[in-house]
Amino acid sequence: MEKHEVSIVIANPSGNITIFVLNLIPESQYADIANKLLSISQFNAEQICFIKDINFGNDIQGTMSMSGLEFCGNASRSFALLIAKRQGLTGVNKISVLVSGAPEPLDVLVNTNLNHAEVSMPHPINIEILDGQEISYLNQAVLVEFDGITHIILNDIPACRETFDEIKTTIMNARNPAALGIMFYNTKIKHMIPVVYVRDVDTTYFEGSCASGTTALCISLSQKYTDGIYRYTVSQPAGELIASIEKDNNKISKITIDGSVSLSEVQTILV
């Protein structure tokens, strides 16, 4: 079987371990290379990101795609910090990136001194409260749909693979999103366990943290408010993410996700 030499950087955005492939790889090979990288136990990675382009002098300084062409806020934050570091920037800078699953470029405020990155998240294209579902605990659950991923918020339901798979079968049959996240949220201790399935690479992970899932949760929590800025710190298995929701006349005007990111040195491996 043919092996590929790839240069990679491993990012840790609040525990959501992401491998960035620096080589230009055809999309037809994404699934194969991603599955090989995900199988390397020492990396303990949850997702793979393929860098298409980095242009320091352009308005859009980088373009990347996730392996399943889904959207990922944590990978977007990490990508912007990676660009800033490779450019040799110090302190606070704004980096604009184009990422899979997002219809418009995203602005990311990075601090290379503190290894922090705050991304302006895309707005949801649909928010609904589910009803009439055969699975009883899905009724009254909040569904938040983004361009590249759909999330369902489940309050005070224990996180387990059996529950996730039951929901996945129902939602994939009905809607077939590129990626599906179930956010198991404990309202008493304010702790969320994110579980994410990516259709095109057929992977399911109990993730350390999930930026778009945190966004979906905070959209759900802010449904009762009409105007103002609402900030939430969401505890997750491998770290915290901070979400800020700004609403004007009961409409979302801005969403940001903030948190720490660590980046490894570049390494080259055969997969």
Q: Which residues are catalytic?
A: 72, 210
d(CA 63, CA 99): 6
d(CA 211, CA 105): 17
Residue 258, beta-bridge partner list: 118, 242
Identity (one letter) of the amino acid at 221? L
d(CA 186, CA 154): 9
The residues near 217 (Cβ < 8 Å, ≥ 6 apart) are 151, 153, 183, 185, 192, 232, 234, 243
- Exposed, middle or buried by CB within 10 Å (0-12, 13-18, 19+), for 39? exposed
d(CA 157, CA 87): 45
Indicate the SS3 state at residue 220: helix
The residues near 99 (Cβ < 8 Å, ≥ 6 apart) are 63, 64, 65, 66, 71, 72, 75, 76, 79, 106
